[in-house]
Chains A and B, each alone.
Chain A
Amino acid sequence: MSKKGRRNGFALGAAAVLALLMPAILAHNEYLISVLILILLNVLMVSSLRTIALLREISLGHVGFGLIGSYGSALFMMKGGLSFWPALLASGLLSAAVALALGYPFLRVKGIYFSILTLLTAETFRLVAFYWRGLTGGTMGLVGIPAPGPIALPVVGIVSFDETGAYYYLTLVTFAVCMAALYLTERSHLGFTWRAIKNGEEISQSVGINVIGYKVVNFAIASFFAGIAGSLFAHYQRSLSADFTSRFGVVTSIYLVVYMVVGGQGSFLGPAIGTIVLTVISEWARPMKEYQPMIIGAIAILVVLFMPGGLVGLSNLVKRKGRGPGGARGT
């Protein structure tokens, strides 16, 4: 057990060092670093999507709460006069508050009905952002979103976040804190209760669990982190558009679910693995233009058919084989 703990600690440390060195490894290539930032934000989105999936519900509108975070944060800074960090927190809280308000009616329905409701809600958010010219710039988009203000660090000196490399580190730190919070939440009493609810709502009620209450809190927590990811996205892009083909379209929500399923929703690391693998593949397939979604789709179908546990399940399989007689240790 402690051996496993030490191995996990080592893996985590290695991942942290790798993440820190990544810009240098990529030779400070702006484009590649921007892909890295996008991966971090998507992992955060998919991991918080998985929080909802812990209750066996699939949200097809997670990006809607990212949108609230994006526009919220941008407007908190541009019109509310907040500086970046308060705006970041406030946008997460705003997203969570909207989820709290909507969660109560939404979570009375389950399964496909919940998915449809979330899908339509995200589209509604998008359309409001798209047409509310006075607030969001409407179809013109919201431009001139400030970057986080520069900070003075010991040793490094003044760091200005309108530079991609610096923004990567800011994203990485926030990402790490959020992932740790998600992980601890899942391992807490709260997470245990979610697991109980997933196992059976009727019996959960009968042992005194306020099922709807716990679901609403779950939805709000997941939306909080979607809001944070949205905020980080907004201040990186520096402009927002709620066009159908933008990041806030339905397609993104669907991709998030695909990342989660391909990675494996049964494990905390599944969403990260799915997001990283599929993002790298789709960036590689970018020159193929309209065939790009087909490649992702084909991978999703293959994984669902042959690896119901997702890519994470594959690593377990390799591990089990490796332990067998004469089997070589898998990578």
Chain B
Amino acid sequence: MEILQIRGLTMFFGGLAAVSGLDLSVGKGEILGLIGPNGAGKTTVLNMIAGTLRPRAGRIALEGEDITRWPAYRRTRKGIARVFQRNALFHDMTVLENVLAGSHLHGTHGLFEIFYKRASILRQATLLQDRAMDILRFVGLDKRIGQVALSLPHGGQRLLCLAVALAADPRLLLLDEPFTGMNVEEVRNIISLVKVLRDERGITTIVVEHNMRAVLDLCDRAVVLNYGNKMIEGRPRDVIEDAAVIEAYLGVDDAL
């Protein structure tokens, strides 16, 4: 069964077609790798799925529901969460506060809940804290809850990004180059976390990544984008060995 369906997705920047007429389906529980040379439109596709970019043409459906015109925050409510390429965090807040902010949708209801019903809010706050602690334990940051986000090392910040995304309780997780700047051990750690999320909670993941080793280890399927179009798709091993893909990478000066 499909969780995400994309038809004819098109985006221009100036006169340049960053993505043109892309069709893509993602199955429930699948881990899909979006790969391709620099400038192929991978992040643009991710942005359009997350809702931070409005496509020029085409349709995006989440479990059959057309979300093409929805703002980003509404998509999060429907279960799309993303981890940004840069470490986008609530920098001045503590690790725990970051995850609590990520739980925004699970806290109170609507804009106007302020200081009424104190008891129920306190109970809810405790619940949220417990939930946040579970998530932090899962990514292995439960010993650093009081630390300010910005003071974490790069790898820790990445894990916190993942924790914040998980706090929104997503069904579809978008990871934009999660392995950049990480050592082998950290890469392996994130790979196993994403797999556990899939196996235990059925979370679907779309990952944009340059690290081919990681794509091989992590993804069930890989889609190669080039000039905003799908070039080839299939099992990661087959895709990476494909002659045309190698040419696309090597053809663009020192892309690899």
Contact assessment for B113 and A208 in the assembled complex, using a CB-CB cutoff below 8 Å: no
Report whether over half of chain A's contact residues are helix, strand or loop; otherwise say mixed: helix
Cα(A207)–Cα(B81), bound, Å: 7
Binds B, one of A40-48, A112-120, A209-217, A222-230: A209-217
A184 at the binding interface (Cβ < 8 Å): yes
Digit string of A175-217 for contact with B (CB within 8 Å is 1, else 0)?
Answer: 0000000001100111011011001101111111111011001
Q: Which residues of B contact A207 (CB under 8 A)?
A: 76, 81, 101-105, 164-165, 167-168
Q: Which residues of A contact B102 (CB under 8 A)?
A: 207
Cα(A39)–Cα(B89), bound, Å: 39
B189 at the binding interface (Cβ < 8 Å): no
Find the A residue at minimum CB distance from B79: A208
Given A199-B92, A206-B50, verify A188-B101 contact (CB < 8 Å): no
Contact assessment for B114 and A205 in the assembled complex, using a CB-CB cutoff below 8 Å: no
Cβ distance A179 to chain B, nearest Cβ, rounded Å: 14
> When the two chains form the complex, which single residue of B82, B93, B111 contacts A190, counting CB atoms closer than 8 Å?
B111
Count of chain B residues with a beta carbon within 8 Å of a chain A beta carbon = 37
Find the A residue at minimum CB distance from B76: A208
Contact assessment for A184 and B115 in the assembled complex, using a CB-CB cutoff below 8 Å: yes
Q: Which residues of B contact A192 (CB under 8 A)?
A: 97, 100-101
B192 at the binding interface (Cβ < 8 Å): no
Cα(A200)–Cα(B86), bound, Å: 12
> When the two chains form the complex, which single residue of A185, A189, A193, A206 contacts B81, counting CB atoms closer than 8 Å?
A206
Which of B89, B90, B91 has the most chain A CB within a 10 Å cutoff? B90
Q: Which residues of A contact B82 (CB under 8 A)?
A: 206
Contact assessment for B114 and A185 in the assembled complex, using a CB-CB cutoff below 8 Å: yes
Given A195-B93, A199-B91, A202-B88, verify A209-B52 contact (CB < 8 Å): no
Contact assessment for B121 and A202 in the assembled complex, using a CB-CB cutoff below 8 Å: no
Q: Which residues of A contact B91 (CB under 8 A)?
A: 199-200
Cα(A190)–Cα(B82), bound, Å: 23
Q: Which residues of B contact A185 (CB under 8 A)?
A: 114-115
Q: Besides the contacts A189-B108, A189-B114, what 18 more A-B pairs have beta carbons closer than 8 Å?
A: A184-B114, A192-B97, A193-B104, A196-B93, A199-B91, A200-B90, A200-B91, A202-B88, A204-B101, A205-B71, A205-B72, A207-B76, A207-B101, A207-B167, A208-B74, A209-B101, A210-B73, A217-B112
Binding site for A on B (CB under 8 A): 50-52, 71-74, 76-77, 81-82, 84, 88-93, 97, 100-105, 107-108, 111-115, 121, 164-165, 167-168
Counting from the closest, the 5 A-B pairs by CB-CB distance are: A208-B76, A199-B90, A196-B101, A205-B72, A208-B105
Binding site for B on A (CB under 8 A): 184-185, 188-190, 192-193, 195-196, 199-200, 202-211, 213-214, 217
